[in-house]
Amino acid sequence: MWSSAVIQGATDQWVGDMDPSHVALLRLLTVELNGVLEQTRGETFIGTGVIVRLDGDRIYVLTAKHNLHVAGSTARIAEARLADYFRTCVRVRFTPPEGAVVSGTIDLIDLPDGVTADRGYDVAVLRVTDRAFAGAVRALAPPGGVTAMFSASTDWTQAGQTILEVRSRDDARRVLTNGRPFGRLEDPGAENHVLLQFGHGHVSRSGAYGFARRALRINQLANPTFLDTTHEGYQDVFVFDTTEASSTTAKGDSGGPVFALVPTGVRSFLVGLTLGANFYGNRTDNNPNSPVDNNAFTVVSSDRVRRFP
Burial of 193 (0-12, 13-18, 19+ CB in 10 A): buried
Tell me the C-alpha distance between 260 and 94, whole Å.
Answer: 22
The CATH number given to whatever domain includes residue 124 is: 2.40.10.120
* Section 46-66 average pLDDT: 90
Beta strands 294-299 and 268-277: pairing type? antiparallel
* Section 269-279 average pLDDT: 93
pLDDT of residue 267: 67
Task: Using pLDDT thresholds of 50, 70 and 90, give the confidence band for residue 263.
Answer: low
pTM: 0.90
pLDDT in tens, 61-112: 999 999 999 999 877 899 999 999 999 999 999 888 777 889 999 999 999 9
Q: Is residue 282 part of a domain?
A: yes
* Section 157-181 average pLDDT: 70
For residue 69, report the phi and psi dihedrals to the nearest 5 degrees: -70, -40
pLDDT of residue 144: 43
**Which residue range is the domain that position 274 belongs to?**
5-299
Q: Is residue 306 part of a domain?
A: no
The residue type found at 33 is L
Tell me the C-alpha distance between 300 and 237, whole Å.
Answer: 9
Q: Is residue 309 part of a domain?
A: no
* Section 127-148 average pLDDT: 71
Least confident of 47-56, 122-131, 146-155: 146-155
* DSSP 8-class letter at 300: P
Q: Is residue 307 part of a domain?
A: no
Q: Is residue 148 part of a domain?
A: yes
270 pLDDT more than 80: yes
Task: Using pLDDT thresholds of 50, 70 and 90, give the confidence band for residue 155.
Answer: very low
The residue type found at 183 is G
Task: Using pLDDT thresholds of 50, 70 and 90, give the confidence band for residue 149.
Answer: very low
Q: Is residue 128 part of a domain?
A: yes
The residue type found at 10 is A
Considering only residues 273 and 18, tell me which one the structure prediction assigns the higher pLDDT. 273
- Classify each residue of 143-179 as buried b or exposed e, where b means 16 or more C-beta atoms within 10 Å of its C-beta: eeebeebbbeeebbbbeeebbbbbbebebbbbbbeeb
* Section 106-131 average pLDDT: 96
Q: Is residue 161 part of a domain?
A: yes
Task: Using pLDDT thresholds of 50, 70 and 90, give the confidence band for residue 241.
Answer: very high
Number of domains in the chain: 1
pLDDT in tens, 174-219: 888 876 666 554 454 555 678 889 999 887 766 788 888 888 888 7
Q: Is residue 74 part of a domain?
A: yes
Tell me the C-alpha distance between 137 and 53, whole Å.
Answer: 10
Considering only residues 243 and 64, tell me which one the structure prediction assigns the higher pLDDT. 64
Considering only residues 164 and 127, tell me which one the structure prediction assigns the higher pLDDT. 127
Residues in Cβ contact with 238 at an 8 Å cutoff, skipping those fewer than 6 apart:
172, 176, 177, 224, 225, 226, 227, 271, 272, 296, 297, 298, 299
